[in-house]
Chain A
């Protein structure tokens, strides 16, 4: 799309100044990226990079190879930003640490460090989940009408609690990637209230309280991140959970997450 109207007169740094005023809600950037190629380029490169570097500096440092000038992590800064928005605290939430075997060993070999840390993380997540459950429920009910990116996500990646005993598929949602799916329609926000700061604690409190013990409904582009064991574990764990659930097939949902925003 060509450059338009008033924004064509503004320099990139001024437009970035405007865009940074919209960083609190990820959908703003997603919408603006659809307006013109210039906005898309600025958001996908500069804005996402800055946000990721501020919010998840450890992950950025892990993903970028040291000593070389690179354009960004595998999959690009926009992909990393999407993942940070959709998965604020998978590792810390304890959702994926129910079972020790996610068929990871067959994929990438055993991880002694993981076995050692597993118990500690499970204990921490249980401690955090149980007292925060009550708080979480009240916070969720307060924020029931707030926007949640997770609501968008649910249209694509689906798991149905109420229809768990029924085998017939529910109505097809707007974005049909899986041919057979059941609609998960949870009307409450799954994300923390307040301004997004991509804090892992947000995911910790909400995911642990809400999705602990249930199938995870994330479907994220696994191919983008293969360098770090800890990140890989998260994604494989999510898929494993889905395939063992009564919902959609696991591996077939890999591609959905990349087009969510």
Chain B
């Protein structure tokens, strides 16, 4: 049993992101993701597990999260086995601090993390990121929620469209006035 546990701990799993980036992780870290765990159990992945829905940047963050939580769980169980409750609580506090810092990212990255956690089926990460979004929404007016949830590119496009409408409106009004003036001038000249 212990030899197989050691074997599992040292067994490496290779993950490939959508942009071709390859990550080698321990199996214990990889199976934090239920999706990957099922793939391994069903023997679907031979050498490399492709993750077409996750970019390399996001996958590296997800791996960092999983690794930290696996290490924390191992430390906590070791501390409890040695009856060291104080060190177990310190580990919990460290983990909470890590989680709090982990989600201090820009909105695009946060939403990509949600998508990745949902695809990879990592409950802890999904709950953490969803709670973060919920905390962002709390207390905000609908206008603020809409403003905050729109990407910078989308808001720039909206502003561009609105300015074009204003410009087109101004141009068309100016053109109308010029036409009227020219019609009037020609009619006066005709007289």
Contact = CB atoms under 8 A, between A and B. Distances in A.
Q: How large is the interface on B (under 10, 10 to 19, 20 to 34, 35 or more residues)?
A: 20 to 34
Interface in A16-34: 17-19, 21-22, 25, 28, 31-32, 34
Given A14-B130, A17-B130, A9 B149 contact: no
Interface in A206-256: none
A32 to B, nearest CB: 6
Contact of B137 (A1, A10, A28): A28
B45 interface: no
Given A9-B115, A10-B111, A18 B142 contact: no
Give the residue among A5, A32, A35, A36 with the most B Cβ atoms within 10 A.
Answer: A5
A10 B115 contact: yes
Contact of B142 (A6, A14, A19, A35): A35
Interface string B129-152: 011011101111110011001110
A4 B134 contact: no
Contacts of B139: 28
A18 B117 CA distance: 13
Nearest to A33: B142
Contact of A22 (B115, B127, B134, B142): B134
A196 interface: no
Interface residues of A, number: 22
B108 A22 contact: no
Contacts of B187: none
Contacts of A114: none
A34 B142 CA distance: 6
Given A5-B151, A18-B130, A28 B138 contact: yes
A35 B145 contact: yes
22 contacts: A4-B154, A5-B151, A5-B154, A6-B107, A6-B149, A6-B150, A6-B151, A7-B149, A10-B114, A14-B114, A17-B127, A17-B130, A18-B133, A18-B134, A22-B138, A28-B137, A31-B140, A31-B142, A31-B145, A32-B142, A32-B145, A35-B149
Interface of A: 1, 4-7, 9-11, 13-14, 17-19, 21-22, 25, 28, 31-32, 34-36
Closest 10 CB pairs of A and B: A21-B134, A5-B150, A34-B142, A6-B111, A5-B149, A17-B130, A18-B130, A35-B142, A35-B145, A18-B133
